[in-house]
A and B are shown apart, each in its own frame.
Chain A
Amino acid sequence: MIDSTVVELSRLQFAATAMYHFIFVPLTLGLSWILVIMESVYVMTGKPIYKEMTQFWGKLFGINFALGVTTGITMEFQFGTNWAYYSHYVGDIFGAPLAIEGLMAFFLESTMFGLFFFGWDRLSKRGHLAVTTLLALGSNLSAILILIANAWMQDPVGSTFNPVTMRMELTDFAALILNPVAQSKFVHTVAAGYVTGALFVLGISAWYLLKNKHVEFARRSFRIAAAFGIAGTLSVIVLGDESGYAVSESQKSKLAALEAMWETEPAPAGFNIVAWPNEEKQANDWAIKVPYMLGLIATRSTTEVLPGIREIRAKNKERIVSGIEALKALDVMRKDPNDTAAKDTFEKHRADMGYGLLVKAYAPDVSQATPEMIEQAARDSVPKVAPLFWSFRIMVGLGFMMLGLFIVAIWLSIYNTHKKHPLFLKLFVWSIPAPWIAIMCGWFIAEYGRQPWTVFGMLPTHLSASSLSAGDLLGSIAGFVGFYTLLLIVEMYLMFKYARLGPAALQPNHA
């Protein structure tokens, strides 16, 4: 049995290192395409200002990219160091997209990264544009493979449990790659990255305009960012996560939690715009509700019923009881692989085996589980409501705010009236962090919303961690957070310094 402190600390470390990593990734995803757009304009028009733009924003891209790589190294190995049982249990499936990411995407992205910076004088104009495009393509391919891996944790398709090796094994590669959850996640996540890159360029350009510096440079950058940003924001909102909502079981419990929907409602369910969820009472103290809206958004129908939290928990309780039978049969099979009665019982209950594992948090030997333990495990089977409820609302609120910002930005660009609206320009500068906040909320919803599972319905989080000590974890968390924070400070310092310098940073004689 793994000490619950170790599990909690392992989660904390993973959350911290993943979130640090995802400070840098979205900007890479977005800026890389912005560089492609700028350089394409340069190649098509031959105007040197666009080359200057590509090189300057490329410089900021590089400062950001370095820490993306640094923090990314950890991610490739942390499943093994801290989630060893998870790695054993699902490595057969989960490892594949990770390895493919390295071979197919990260190699491409990283090789082109070097040529982007050092190849200006050695490649033809078109050749260099091809390198920049491959760099952007590589970073986006990388995202899709990582999201395929993550989507499998949300909705474990194409795999089955093997009692001999005691793990999940891949049965259908196409199902893994074409997982619908992965597709909606991919669009949602990379588009969020595009928004990040766009608002970054927009905000810094707005600052130049406010200061009346590099005006031509800033206006052109501003225009490209505004157009790219509005396309990105619309993709995030329209094509985003919504399409993934009701397609899988995992999304149902997540949905109920983030909507604070305790009771199953007659279709179509209403949407709580604001509410005060009360975990104790399993109800909302109060709520402002729009009738029908949730049912329409989540099921795209007026008749499909969405289960509430109480109903989901009740169903899960049955599955836990059934899962315990599967685990008991598995124990018998381990001692005597030819026991056909045990095999039959196992086959009958195998779909619920993961739910049986939930009880192991309370009873290491599941045959000793009491009804109270089962009740408690069922309660655990839906995550806490309030954190999900609020982070979802922050994310969505920021999304619509950014849509408004980009509409204004387009307006200013078309009529070329930046100078008349310094207040808006200031707003753009101050909004630069907004996409990051929304993105962190989004990942929180995806990962916290999947609890108590690492792999939904298959492997509980409390079984997934490595057999380490709390001391090990405290040491490594201190190391990661300390090191990353130091590097982040250095990165921010350089970023501010170079952003302030502007395109002058490219000239040989700057300070």
Chain B
Amino acid sequence: MFDYETLKLIWWLLVGVLLIGFAIMDGHDMGVGILLNFLGKDDTERRVMINTIAPHWDGNQVWFITAGGAVFAAWPFVYATAFSGLYWALLLVLFALFFRPVGFEYRSKLPSPTWRQSWDWGLFAGSAIPALVFGVAFGNLFLGVPFRLDETMRSFYSGSFWALLNPFALLVGITSLMLLTLQGATFLAHRTEGDLQARAKKTASLVAIILLVAFSLAGFWVSRIDGYVIDSIADVGASINPLMKEVSRAPGAWFANYDKTPILWLIPALAYLGGLLVIACVRAGWTLLAFVGSSLACVSVILTAGVALFPFVLPSSEMPKASLTAWDATSSHFTLNVMFWVALIFTPLVVAYTGWAYRVMSGKVTRDFIVKNDKTVY
């Protein structure tokens, strides 16, 4: 069994892996949903788009579900405090997500154009709202979230839903919206043909530029706000609770990890590389590589934010010492260990059969295919 401190670090990484898995996999589904009404000029084209992800959306959505479960198991403090505090933000995401399974499954079961168009907008909402809200939530982590803990570790949230929608958080929201849209655009460029593909390529380049601009602006903004610093903390290798530390705020503290370990600057640099790769590859027609570039941007944008915050997970603006960190918001040593082995065995298995499913369903989805299989495809 690894020592407790190492496991705490490993679980910070594993939660990151799940978030990245979500952004790459569920991200391209959501991207397709976001673009559905804008790139699909008629019903058949929209069906082509939906059917590129039809066999996969359900499996991909499980990245989101599993990330929720893993946070529950590995960071119960975070699961409890964040989701009850950000109550309406999370409910908004859930309500939006409700549109997806039913949207995919039901939209083409009736021929009525009104019925289909309604579901198409449902799919848009179910894809765009979560993409935006996740970014907004991430943005608020940098600003600190107003909550406190009492001595029995019960959390009380004192902010409002509307306070989450501040300009900085919205900028981060746009960044994440663009990130997932880019996933969708590059995926569509790879799996469709003709006019639709040309539109997807054009969109991908445009979105990549907006993404890089928003990402740069957000980074600049972060350098102007106060970050959080742990001044003292009990033994991180032992069982501790979040109140056993002292935390203060300091200007530029979110760059402390990068200043301490300059090689980490490579991570944000890779985000630019990913974005530029997309632009270059769609021009050259290497659509699969464009998707890889976009996925690289997902990995590095999420890691850039994570590394800046580390070890903070949920900083508290109201009671800084109650901030939840990777050191004191985790499960017990034993649970982290059990769950580490579970993750080690099953994550590669999931990746393997997901890969197999994509191989079985590989190839372009065409208008012909939709017309021929009118009653059996989405």
The residues of A with any CB-CB pair to B shorter than 8 Å are 62-63, 65-67, 69-70, 72-74, 76-77, 79-82, 84-88, 90-96, 98-104, 106-108, 110-111, 113-115, 117-120, 122-123, 162, 164-167, 169-171, 173, 334, 466-468, 472, 476, 479, 483, 487, 490-491, 494, 498, 505-508, 510
A-B interface, 3 closest residue pairs, ranked by CB to CB distance from nearest: A91-B76, A80-B83, A102-B66
Cα of A73 to Cα of B61 in the assembled complex, Å: 9
B319 to chain A, nearest CB (A): 14
Cα of A94 to Cα of B102 in the assembled complex, Å: 29
Is B73 a contact partner of A96 (Cβ separation < 8 A)? yes
Known: A79-B72, A80-B72. A114 touches B56 (CB 8 A): yes
Cα of A72 to Cα of B69 in the assembled complex, Å: 12
Cα of A218 to Cα of B281 in the assembled complex, Å: 54
Cα of A479 to Cα of B91 in the assembled complex, Å: 9
Is B102 a contact partner of A117 (Cβ separation < 8 A)? no
Known: A81-B90, A479-B91. A114 touches B59 (CB 8 A): yes
Stretch of B153-161, B170-178, B267-275 lying at the A interface = B153-161
Cα of A22 to Cα of B74 in the assembled complex, Å: 27
A447 to chain B, nearest CB (A): 19
Is A69 a contact partner of B360 (Cβ separation < 8 A)? no
Counting CB contacts under 8 A, is B101 at the interface?
A: yes
Beyond A80-B79, A102-B70, 4 extra complex contacts between A and B, CB < 8 Å: A118-B361, A120-B376, A165-B241, A498-B109
Stretch of B136-144, B194-202, B294-302, B337-345 lying at the A interface = B337-345
Hey, which chain A residues are within 8 Å of B347, CB to CB?
A: 103
Cα of A162 to Cα of B241 in the assembled complex, Å: 11
CB-CB nearest in chain B for A69: B101
Cα of A479 to Cα of B96 in the assembled complex, Å: 12
Counting CB contacts under 8 A, is B350 at the interface?
A: yes
Stretch of B37-45, B185-193, B303-311, B327-335 lying at the A interface = B327-335
Counting CB contacts under 8 A, is B357 at the interface?
A: yes
Counting CB contacts under 8 A, is B259 at the interface?
A: no
Return the contact of B102 from the options A77, A82, A92, A490 (Cβ within 8 A). A490
Counting CB contacts under 8 A, is B68 at the interface?
A: yes
Hey, which chain A residues are within 8 Å of B59, CB to CB?
A: 107, 110-111, 113-114
A23 to chain B, nearest CB (A): 14
Is A169 a contact partner of B343 (Cβ separation < 8 A)? no
Hey, which chain A residues are within 8 Å of B16, CB to CB?
A: none
Is A122 a contact partner of B361 (Cβ separation < 8 A)? yes
Hey, which chain A residues are within 8 Å of B334, CB to CB?
A: 169-171, 173
Counting CB contacts under 8 A, is B54 at the interface?
A: yes
Cα of A77 to Cα of B98 in the assembled complex, Å: 13
Hey, which chain B residues are within 8 Å of A91, CB to CB?
A: 72-73, 76-77, 79-80, 331
Known: A88-B77, A102-B66, A169-B334. A82 touches B84 (CB 8 A): yes
Known: A167-B76, A479-B95. A99 touches B339 (CB 8 A): yes
Known: A82-B84, A170-B338. A62 touches B105 (CB 8 A): yes
CB-CB nearest in chain A for B337: A173
Is A67 a contact partner of B102 (Cβ separation < 8 A)? yes
Hey, which chain B residues are within 8 Å of A99, CB to CB?
A: 66, 69-70, 72-74, 339, 342
Query: Which of A86, A90, A100, A472 neighbours the largest number of chain B CB atoms within 10 Å of its CB?
Result: A100
Is B335 a contact partner of A170 (Cβ separation < 8 A)? yes
Known: A96-B339, A103-B342, A169-B332. A467 touches B98 (CB 8 A): no
Is A96 a contact partner of B83 (Cβ separation < 8 A)? no
Is A472 a contact partner of B58 (Cβ separation < 8 A)? no
Q: Mark B343-378, 1 if CB is under 8 A from A, else 0.
A: 100110010011001001100000000000011110
CB-CB nearest in chain B for A335: B151
A337 to chain B, nearest CB (A): 11
Counting CB contacts under 8 A, is B219 at the interface?
A: no
Is A95 a contact partner of B54 (Cβ separation < 8 A)? no
CB-CB nearest in chain B for A103: B346
Cα of A487 to Cα of B102 in the assembled complex, Å: 8
CB-CB nearest in chain B for A119: B360
Counting CB contacts under 8 A, is B62 at the interface?
A: yes
Is A84 a contact partner of B81 (Cβ separation < 8 A)? yes
The residues of B with any CB-CB pair to A shorter than 8 Å are 54-59, 61-62, 64-66, 68-70, 72-74, 76-77, 79-84, 87-88, 90-91, 94-95, 97-98, 100-102, 104-106, 109-110, 151-157, 239-241, 331-332, 334-335, 338-339, 342-343, 346-347, 350, 353-354, 357, 360-361, 374-377
Known: A62-B105, A69-B58, A167-B153. A107 touches B66 (CB 8 A): yes
Cα of A241 to Cα of B353 in the assembled complex, Å: 35
Return the contact of A111 from the options B80, B88, B354 (Cβ within 8 A). B354
Is A166 a contact partner of B152 (Cβ separation < 8 A)? yes
Return the contact of A483 from the options B95, B331, B357 (Cβ within 8 A). B95
Cα of A93 to Cα of B102 in the assembled complex, Å: 33
Return the contact of A114 from the options B58, B84, B90, B332 (Cβ within 8 A). B58
Hey, which chain A residues are within 8 Å of B354, CB to CB?
A: 107, 111
Cα of A101 to Cα of B69 in the assembled complex, Å: 8
Cα of A120 to Cα of B109 in the assembled complex, Å: 19
Known: A63-B106, A66-B106, A487-B98. A93 touches B335 (CB 8 A): yes
Cα of A281 to Cα of B232 in the assembled complex, Å: 59
Is B55 a contact partner of A100 (Cβ separation < 8 A)? no
A396 to chain B, nearest CB (A): 34
Cα of A118 to Cα of B66 in the assembled complex, Å: 24
Is B353 a contact partner of A108 (Cβ separation < 8 A)? yes
Is A66 a contact partner of B102 (Cβ separation < 8 A)? yes
A488 to chain B, nearest CB (A): 10
Known: A73-B65, A114-B59, A162-B239. A92 touches B332 (CB 8 A): yes
What are 9 A-B interface contacts by the 8 Å CB criterion?
A65-B101, A80-B72, A84-B154, A84-B155, A103-B69, A104-B342, A118-B361, A122-B360, A170-B332
Known: A76-B69, A103-B342, A110-B58. A85 touches B79 (CB 8 A): no
A48 to chain B, nearest CB (A): 15
Cα of A167 to Cα of B24 in the assembled complex, Å: 35
CB-CB nearest in chain A for B91: A476
Return the contact of A100 from the options B88, B342, B361 (Cβ within 8 A). B342
Cα of A486 to Cα of B324 in the assembled complex, Å: 39
Cα of A66 to Cα of B102 in the assembled complex, Å: 5
B62 to chain A, nearest CB (A): 5
Is B98 a contact partner of A80 (Cβ separation < 8 A)? no
A194 to chain B, nearest CB (A): 23
Cα of A84 to Cα of B240 in the assembled complex, Å: 19
Is B55 a contact partner of A80 (Cβ separation < 8 A)? no
Is A494 a contact partner of B106 (Cβ separation < 8 A)? yes
CB-CB nearest in chain B for A505: B375
Is B361 a contact partner of A81 (Cβ separation < 8 A)? no
Is A466 a contact partner of B357 (Cβ separation < 8 A)? no
Is B68 a contact partner of A70 (Cβ separation < 8 A)? no
B58 to chain A, nearest CB (A): 4
Cα of A165 to Cα of B91 in the assembled complex, Å: 28
Hey, which chain B residues are within 8 Å of A122, CB to CB?
A: 360-361
Is B76 a contact partner of A92 (Cβ separation < 8 A)? yes
Hey, which chain A residues are within 8 Å of B70, CB to CB?
A: 99, 102-103
CB-CB nearest in chain B for A80: B83
Cα of A166 to Cα of B76 in the assembled complex, Å: 12
Return the contact of A169 from the options B152, B156, B335 (Cβ within 8 A). B335
Hey, which chain B residues are within 8 Å of A65, CB to CB?
A: 101, 105
Hey, which chain A residues are within 8 Å of B241, CB to CB?
A: 164-166
Hey, which chain A residues are within 8 Å of B377, CB to CB?
A: 118
Hey, which chain A residues are within 8 Å of B69, CB to CB?
A: 76, 95, 98-103
Cα of A487 to Cα of B377 in the assembled complex, Å: 21
Query: Which of B62, B90, B104, B106 neighbours the largest number of chain A CB atoms within 10 Å of its CB?
Result: B62
